[in-house]
Protein backbone atom coordinates (compact mmCIF):
# COMPACT_ATOMS: atom_id res chain seq x y z
CA UNK A 1 0.00 0.00 0.00
CA UNK A 2 2.87 2.38 0.84
CA UNK A 3 4.51 1.73 -2.54
CA UNK A 4 1.22 2.35 -4.33
CA UNK A 5 0.75 5.62 -2.47
CA UNK A 6 4.31 6.73 -3.24
CA UNK A 7 3.70 6.07 -6.94
CA UNK A 8 0.62 8.28 -6.73
CA UNK A 9 2.78 11.14 -5.39
CA UNK A 10 1.62 10.95 -1.76
CA UNK A 11 4.07 12.32 0.82
CA UNK A 12 5.61 10.15 3.54
CA UNK A 13 3.72 12.13 6.15
CA UNK A 14 0.40 11.29 4.52
CA UNK A 15 1.41 7.64 4.13
CA UNK A 16 2.29 7.46 7.84
CA UNK A 17 -1.03 9.04 8.79
CA UNK A 18 -2.91 6.59 6.60
CA UNK A 19 -0.93 3.67 7.97
CA UNK A 20 -2.03 4.46 11.51
CA UNK A 21 -5.67 4.61 10.44
CA UNK A 22 -5.34 1.36 8.53
CA UNK A 23 -3.66 -0.38 11.46
CA UNK A 24 -6.50 0.73 13.73
CA UNK A 25 -9.04 -0.56 11.24
CA UNK A 26 -7.30 -3.99 11.05
CA UNK A 27 -7.02 -4.16 14.83
CA UNK A 28 -10.80 -3.87 15.09
CA UNK A 29 -11.12 -7.17 13.17
CA UNK A 30 -8.81 -9.21 15.45
CA UNK A 31 -10.30 -11.97 17.69
CA UNK A 32 -11.92 -10.47 20.76
CA UNK A 33 -12.43 -7.07 19.11
CA UNK A 34 -15.84 -5.63 18.34
CA UNK A 35 -15.68 -5.87 14.57
CA UNK A 36 -18.35 -5.11 12.04
CA UNK A 37 -17.91 -8.09 9.75
CA UNK A 38 -15.13 -8.96 7.30
CA UNK A 39 -12.61 -6.27 6.45
CA UNK A 40 -13.60 -4.73 3.08
CA UNK A 41 -11.52 -6.20 0.26
CA UNK A 42 -11.19 -2.84 -1.50
CA UNK A 43 -9.36 -1.52 1.58
CA UNK A 44 -6.78 -4.32 1.64
CA UNK A 45 -3.14 -3.31 2.14
CA UNK A 46 -2.29 -4.40 -1.39
CA UNK A 47 -5.04 -2.26 -2.93
CA UNK A 48 -4.17 1.23 -4.23
CA UNK A 49 -7.87 2.04 -3.83
CA UNK A 50 -7.20 2.53 -0.12
CA UNK A 51 -5.27 5.71 -0.88
CA UNK A 52 -8.22 7.21 -2.77
CA UNK A 53 -10.60 6.26 0.03
CA UNK A 54 -8.64 8.16 2.68
CA UNK A 55 -10.50 11.29 3.77
CA UNK A 56 -8.76 14.48 2.65
CA UNK A 57 -8.37 17.80 4.40
CA UNK A 58 -9.88 21.13 3.47
CA UNK A 59 -8.34 24.55 3.06
CA UNK A 60 -8.92 28.15 2.03
CA UNK A 61 -6.62 30.12 -0.29
CA UNK A 62 -6.72 33.92 -0.18
CA UNK A 63 -6.00 35.75 -3.43
CA UNK A 64 -6.07 39.35 -4.64
CA UNK A 65 -8.26 39.85 -7.73
CA UNK A 66 -7.40 43.52 -8.28
CA UNK A 67 -4.04 44.59 -9.75
CA UNK A 68 -1.28 45.37 -7.24
CA UNK A 69 2.22 46.14 -8.50
CA UNK A 70 5.23 45.21 -6.36
CA UNK A 71 8.73 45.75 -7.83
CA UNK A 72 7.17 46.11 -11.24
CA UNK A 73 5.29 42.78 -11.00
CA UNK A 74 1.52 42.39 -10.73
CA UNK A 75 0.98 40.07 -7.74
CA UNK A 76 -2.80 39.78 -8.18
CA UNK A 77 -4.27 36.39 -9.08
CA UNK A 78 -8.06 36.22 -9.08
CA UNK A 79 -10.18 33.23 -9.99
CA UNK A 80 -10.45 34.48 -13.58
CA UNK A 81 -6.72 33.96 -14.02
CA UNK A 82 -6.78 30.58 -12.27
CA UNK A 83 -9.62 29.40 -14.50
CA UNK A 84 -7.78 30.60 -17.60
CA UNK A 85 -4.51 28.92 -16.55
CA UNK A 86 -6.11 25.72 -15.29
CA UNK A 87 -3.31 25.13 -12.76
CA UNK A 88 -0.98 27.40 -10.78
CA UNK A 89 1.85 27.12 -8.29
CA UNK A 90 0.94 28.92 -5.07
CA UNK A 91 4.17 30.78 -4.41
CA UNK A 92 5.03 33.89 -2.44
CA UNK A 93 3.68 32.77 0.96
CA UNK A 94 5.85 34.32 3.66
CA UNK A 95 3.98 33.43 6.84
CA UNK A 96 5.21 30.42 8.79
CA UNK A 97 1.77 29.15 9.81
CA UNK A 98 0.47 29.49 6.24
CA UNK A 99 3.60 27.69 5.02
CA UNK A 100 3.05 24.90 7.54
CA UNK A 101 -0.52 24.57 6.33
CA UNK A 102 0.70 24.07 2.77
CA UNK A 103 3.32 21.56 3.90
CA UNK A 104 0.51 19.55 5.53
CA UNK A 105 -1.51 19.40 2.31
CA UNK A 106 -1.98 16.18 0.40
CA UNK A 107 -2.69 15.65 -3.25
CA UNK A 108 -6.46 15.69 -3.75
CA UNK A 109 -7.25 18.05 -0.86
CA UNK A 110 -9.99 20.51 -1.73
CA UNK A 111 -9.96 24.25 -0.96
CA UNK A 112 -12.14 27.32 -1.18
CA UNK A 113 -10.85 30.17 -3.34
CA UNK A 114 -11.26 33.50 -1.55
CA UNK A 115 -10.91 37.03 -2.93
CA UNK A 116 -9.30 39.42 -0.44
CA UNK A 117 -8.07 43.02 -0.47
CA UNK A 118 -11.09 44.07 -2.51
CA UNK A 119 -14.25 46.07 -1.84
CA UNK A 120 -16.39 42.96 -1.18
CA UNK A 121 -14.12 40.08 -0.12
CA UNK A 122 -15.51 36.57 -0.11
CA UNK A 123 -15.46 32.99 -1.42
CA UNK A 124 -15.80 32.78 -5.20
CA UNK A 125 -14.88 29.20 -6.12
CA UNK A 126 -13.06 25.95 -5.36
CA UNK A 127 -9.70 24.46 -6.27
CA UNK A 128 -7.81 21.21 -5.67
CA UNK A 129 -4.26 20.49 -4.54
CA UNK A 130 -2.58 18.65 -7.42
CA UNK A 131 1.03 18.71 -6.20
CA UNK A 132 2.26 18.58 -2.64
CA UNK A 133 4.71 21.03 -1.12
CA UNK A 134 8.11 21.70 -2.70
CA UNK A 135 10.61 24.59 -2.38
CA UNK A 136 9.43 28.04 -3.47
CA UNK A 137 12.13 29.28 -5.85
CA UNK A 138 10.83 32.87 -5.79
CA UNK A 139 12.58 33.22 -2.42
CA UNK A 140 15.94 32.75 -4.20
CA UNK A 141 15.44 35.50 -6.81
CA UNK A 142 16.56 39.01 -5.69
CA UNK A 143 14.37 40.56 -8.39
CA UNK A 144 11.23 38.83 -7.15
CA UNK A 145 8.85 40.68 -4.75
CA UNK A 146 8.98 37.65 -2.43
CA UNK A 147 12.78 37.34 -2.23
CA UNK A 148 14.16 36.15 1.11
CA UNK A 149 17.97 36.34 1.51
CA UNK A 150 17.81 33.82 4.37
CA UNK A 151 16.33 31.12 2.14
CA UNK A 152 18.65 29.15 -0.14
CA UNK A 153 18.38 26.18 -2.48
CA UNK A 154 20.39 24.08 0.00
CA UNK A 155 18.24 25.12 2.95
CA UNK A 156 14.90 26.36 1.61
CA UNK A 157 12.75 28.19 4.12
CA UNK A 158 9.60 28.59 2.05
CA UNK A 159 7.47 26.06 0.17
CA UNK A 160 4.57 26.07 -2.24
CA UNK A 161 1.96 23.72 -3.69
CA UNK A 162 0.27 23.42 -7.07
CA UNK A 163 -3.48 23.91 -7.28
CA UNK A 164 -6.00 23.38 -10.08
CA UNK A 165 -9.23 25.23 -10.81
CA UNK A 166 -12.34 23.17 -10.10
CA UNK A 167 -15.43 25.39 -10.01
CA UNK A 168 -17.01 28.76 -9.40
CA UNK A 169 -19.60 29.21 -6.71
CA UNK A 170 -23.07 30.24 -7.96
CA UNK A 171 -22.51 33.56 -6.16
CA UNK A 172 -19.88 35.17 -3.99
CA UNK A 173 -20.25 34.35 -0.29
CA UNK A 174 -19.07 37.60 1.24
CA UNK A 175 -16.92 38.00 4.33
CA UNK A 176 -19.81 39.79 6.06
CA UNK A 177 -22.07 36.80 5.47
CA UNK A 178 -19.44 34.36 6.71
CA UNK A 179 -18.94 36.39 9.89
CA UNK A 180 -22.69 36.53 10.54
CA UNK A 181 -23.14 32.74 10.32
CA UNK A 182 -23.10 31.06 13.77
CA UNK A 183 -21.80 27.81 12.27
CA UNK A 184 -18.59 29.47 11.04
CA UNK A 185 -17.44 31.38 14.12
CA UNK A 186 -14.41 29.12 14.67
CA UNK A 187 -13.09 29.34 11.11
CA UNK A 188 -9.36 29.94 10.95
CA UNK A 189 -10.28 32.77 8.57
CA UNK A 190 -11.44 34.66 11.68
CA UNK A 191 -9.31 33.19 14.47
CA UNK A 192 -6.11 33.67 12.42
CA UNK A 193 -7.22 36.48 10.12
CA UNK A 194 -3.73 37.32 8.81
CA UNK A 195 -3.16 33.86 7.30
CA UNK A 196 -3.30 33.68 3.52
CA UNK A 197 -3.75 29.90 3.64
CA UNK A 198 -6.23 28.64 6.24
CA UNK A 199 -7.33 25.17 7.28
CA UNK A 200 -11.04 24.31 7.33
CA UNK A 201 -13.06 21.48 8.75
CA UNK A 202 -15.11 19.40 6.35
CA UNK A 203 -18.26 20.84 7.91
CA UNK A 204 -17.07 24.43 7.34
CA UNK A 205 -16.12 23.68 3.73
CA UNK A 206 -19.50 22.10 2.93
CA UNK A 207 -21.43 24.76 4.81
CA UNK A 208 -19.86 27.61 2.85
CA UNK A 209 -20.68 25.85 -0.43
CA UNK A 210 -24.27 25.36 0.75
CA UNK A 211 -24.51 29.11 1.45
CA UNK A 212 -23.48 29.80 -2.14
CA UNK A 213 -26.48 27.76 -3.33
CA UNK A 214 -28.95 30.01 -1.49
CA UNK A 215 -29.87 33.67 -2.07
CA UNK A 216 -27.83 36.25 -0.22
CA UNK A 217 -29.55 37.48 2.97
CA UNK A 218 -31.30 40.83 2.43
CA UNK A 219 -29.58 42.44 5.42
CA UNK A 220 -26.13 41.54 4.03
CA UNK A 221 -27.02 42.77 0.53
CA UNK A 222 -28.40 46.06 1.87
CA UNK A 223 -25.22 46.76 3.85
CA UNK A 224 -22.93 46.13 0.87
CA UNK A 225 -21.12 49.24 -0.47
CA UNK A 226 -22.79 50.64 -3.58
CA UNK A 227 -20.61 50.59 -6.72
CA UNK A 228 -19.45 53.98 -7.97
CA UNK A 229 -20.39 55.18 -11.42
CA UNK A 230 -17.43 55.25 -13.83
CA UNK A 231 -15.93 58.64 -14.62
CA UNK A 232 -17.91 60.58 -17.20
CA UNK A 233 -21.18 58.72 -16.52
CA UNK A 234 -24.17 60.31 -14.70
CA UNK A 235 -24.32 59.47 -11.01
CA UNK A 236 -27.97 59.92 -10.13
CA UNK A 237 -30.68 57.49 -11.20
CA UNK A 238 -32.61 60.30 -12.88
CA UNK A 239 -29.57 61.36 -14.88
CA UNK A 240 -28.89 57.75 -15.84
CA UNK A 241 -32.48 57.29 -17.01
CA UNK A 242 -32.33 60.53 -19.00
CA UNK A 243 -29.08 59.44 -20.63
CA UNK A 244 -30.53 56.03 -21.48
CA UNK A 245 -33.67 57.56 -23.03
CA UNK A 246 -31.84 59.75 -25.52
CA UNK A 247 -32.39 58.70 -29.09
CA UNK A 248 -30.87 59.76 -32.43
CA UNK A 249 -33.02 62.90 -32.63
CA UNK A 250 -32.14 63.93 -29.10
CA UNK A 251 -28.47 63.31 -29.83
CA UNK A 252 -28.62 65.54 -32.91
CA UNK A 253 -30.37 68.32 -30.99
CA UNK A 254 -27.82 68.06 -28.22
CA UNK A 255 -24.99 68.32 -30.74
CA UNK A 256 -26.52 71.53 -32.15
CA UNK A 257 -26.73 73.16 -28.71
CA UNK A 258 -23.73 74.81 -27.00
CA UNK A 259 -21.73 72.57 -24.74
CA UNK A 260 -23.24 72.17 -21.27
CA UNK A 261 -21.52 73.87 -18.41
CA UNK A 262 -22.84 71.66 -15.64
CA UNK A 263 -20.46 70.08 -13.18
CA UNK A 264 -21.07 66.67 -14.77
CA UNK A 265 -19.63 67.84 -18.11
CA UNK A 266 -16.62 69.60 -16.66
CA UNK A 267 -13.37 67.64 -16.56
CA UNK A 268 -12.83 66.21 -13.11
CA UNK A 269 -9.60 67.15 -11.39
CA UNK A 270 -7.54 64.71 -9.41
CA UNK A 271 -7.32 65.27 -5.67
CA UNK A 272 -3.76 66.55 -6.03
CA UNK A 273 -4.63 68.99 -8.83
CA UNK A 274 -7.69 70.19 -6.94
CA UNK A 275 -5.62 70.78 -3.81
CA UNK A 276 -3.02 72.74 -5.80
CA UNK A 277 -5.71 74.91 -7.37
CA UNK A 278 -7.28 75.60 -3.99
CA UNK A 279 -3.92 76.47 -2.46
CA UNK A 280 -3.13 78.89 -5.28
CA UNK A 281 -6.50 80.62 -4.91
CA UNK A 282 -6.03 80.92 -1.14
CA UNK A 283 -2.56 82.37 -1.63
CA UNK A 284 -3.88 85.01 -4.06
CA UNK A 285 -6.64 85.96 -1.63
CA UNK A 286 -4.23 86.24 1.29
CA UNK A 287 -1.80 88.33 -0.75
CA UNK A 288 -4.57 90.70 -1.83
CA UNK A 289 -5.82 91.18 1.71
CA UNK A 290 -2.30 91.87 2.99
CA UNK A 291 -1.77 94.54 0.30
CA UNK A 292 -5.11 96.15 1.14
CA UNK A 293 -4.38 96.28 4.84
CA UNK A 294 -0.93 97.77 4.19
CA UNK A 295 -2.53 100.56 2.15
CA UNK A 296 -5.15 101.12 4.85
CA UNK A 297 -2.48 101.30 7.56
CA UNK A 298 -0.44 103.78 5.51
CA UNK A 299 -3.49 106.01 5.14
CA UNK A 300 -4.18 105.87 8.88
CA UNK A 301 -0.57 106.41 9.91
CA UNK A 302 -0.90 110.13 10.76
CA UNK A 303 -3.84 109.39 13.07
CA UNK A 304 -1.96 106.55 14.72
CA UNK A 305 1.13 108.67 15.33
CA UNK A 306 -1.01 111.45 16.76
CA UNK A 307 -2.71 109.05 19.19
CA UNK A 308 0.60 107.62 20.29
CA UNK A 309 2.00 111.17 20.76
CA UNK A 310 -0.87 111.92 23.15
CA UNK A 311 0.15 108.90 25.31
CA UNK A 312 -2.31 106.33 24.02
CA UNK A 313 -1.50 102.67 24.59
CA UNK A 314 0.05 101.09 21.48
CA UNK A 315 -1.95 97.89 21.94
CA UNK A 316 -5.22 99.80 22.19
CA UNK A 317 -4.38 101.81 19.07
CA UNK A 318 -3.58 98.57 17.20
CA UNK A 319 -6.90 97.02 18.24
CA UNK A 320 -8.83 100.09 17.16
CA UNK A 321 -7.05 100.06 13.79
CA UNK A 322 -7.94 96.39 13.27
CA UNK A 323 -11.58 97.05 14.22
CA UNK A 324 -11.81 99.86 11.68
CA UNK A 325 -10.33 97.56 9.03
CA UNK A 326 -12.92 94.86 9.80
CA UNK A 327 -15.69 97.46 9.57
CA UNK A 328 -14.82 98.22 5.94
CA UNK A 329 -16.94 96.62 3.24
CA UNK A 330 -15.49 94.20 0.68
CA UNK A 331 -15.73 96.85 -2.02
CA UNK A 332 -13.76 99.35 0.08
CA UNK A 333 -11.09 96.73 0.80
CA UNK A 334 -10.89 95.84 -2.89
CA UNK A 335 -10.19 99.49 -3.76
CA UNK A 336 -7.33 99.58 -1.28
CA UNK A 337 -5.78 96.35 -2.60
- The predicted pLDDT at position 24 comes to 57
Q: Are 44 and 94 in contact (CB under 8 A)?
A: no
Nearest Cα neighbor of 92 from 153, 152, 161 is 161
Mean pLDDT of 91-105: 95
- Write down the pLDDT at residue 36: 42
Closest CA to 254 of 266, 242, 267, 263: 242
Lowest mean pLDDT among 209-218, 231-240, 312-321: 231-240
pLDDT value at residue 45: 35
Q: Name the H helices within 8-95.
A: 12-27, 49-53, 79-85
Query: Residue 96's pLDDT is what?
Result: 95
Query: Which pLDDT value is given to residue 35?
Result: 41
Contact 234, 264 (CB under 8 A): yes
- pLDDT tens digits for range 12-48: 656 666 666 555 555 555 444 444 444 444 444 333 4
Give the residues across from 113 on adjacent strands.
Answer: 61, 125
DSSP 163: E
- 117 Cβ contact partners less than 8 Å away, ≥ 6 residues apart: 64, 66, 68
- Using alpha carbons, select from 147, 164, 142 the residue that is nearest to residue 92: 147
- Sort 241 into a burial class: Cβ within 10 Å, 0-12 / 13-18 / 19+: exposed
Decide: 14 and 5 in contact? Cβ < 8 Å: yes
177 within 8 A of 220, measured Cβ to Cβ: yes
Lowest pLDDT segment from 24-28, 73-77, 287-291? 24-28
Give the pLDDT band of residue 313 (cuts 50, 70, 90): confident
pLDDT at 23: 59
Which of 232, 105, 229 has its CA nearest to residue 159?
Answer: 105
In the predicted model, is pLDDT for residue 166 greater than 70?
yes
**At 151, phi and psi to the nearest 5?**
-105, 130
Q: Are 123 and 168 in contact (CB under 8 A)?
A: no
Query: Alpha-carbon distance 337 to 334, whole Å?
Result: 5
Beta bridge partners of 129: 163
Please write the tens of the pLDDT for every residue from 170-209: 999 999 999 999 999 999 999 998 999 999 999 999 999 9
- Contact by Cβ (8 Å): 201, 128: no
SS3 233: coil
What's residue 55's pLDDT? 60
Burial (Cβ within 10 Å: 0-12, 13-18, ≥19) of residue 289: middle
% of residues, the chain, pLDDT over 70? 65
Summarize pLDDT for 241-259 with one digit per residue, the tens: 555 544 454 455 555 555 4
User: pTM higher than 0.95, yes or no?
Assistant: no
Average pLDDT over residues 44-54: 41
Q: Per DSSP, what are the bridge partners of residue 128?
A: 110, 164
> Can you say how many angstroms the Cα of residue 55 is from the centroid of all Cα atoms in its chain?
32
Query: Would you call 162 helix, strand, or coil by DSSP?
Result: strand
Mean pLDDT of 80-106: 96
Residue 164 predicted with pLDDT over 70: yes
Q: What is the pLDDT of residue 261?
A: 45
User: pLDDT tier at 141 (50, 70, 90 boundaries)?
Assistant: very high
The pLDDT value recorded for residue 167 is: 97
How far is residue 255's CA from residue 241's CA, in Å, rounded to a whole number?
19
Amino acid sequence: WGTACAQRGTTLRSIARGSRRLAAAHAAQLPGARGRGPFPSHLALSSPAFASSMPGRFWLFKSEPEPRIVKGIDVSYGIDKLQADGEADWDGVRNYQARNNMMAMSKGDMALYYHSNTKVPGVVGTCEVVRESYPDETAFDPEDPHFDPKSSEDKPRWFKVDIAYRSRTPRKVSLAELKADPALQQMQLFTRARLSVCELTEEEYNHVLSLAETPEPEAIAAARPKPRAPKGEPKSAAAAAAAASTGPAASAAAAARPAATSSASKPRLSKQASAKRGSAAAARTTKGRAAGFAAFAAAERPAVEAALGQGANARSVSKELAARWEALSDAERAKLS
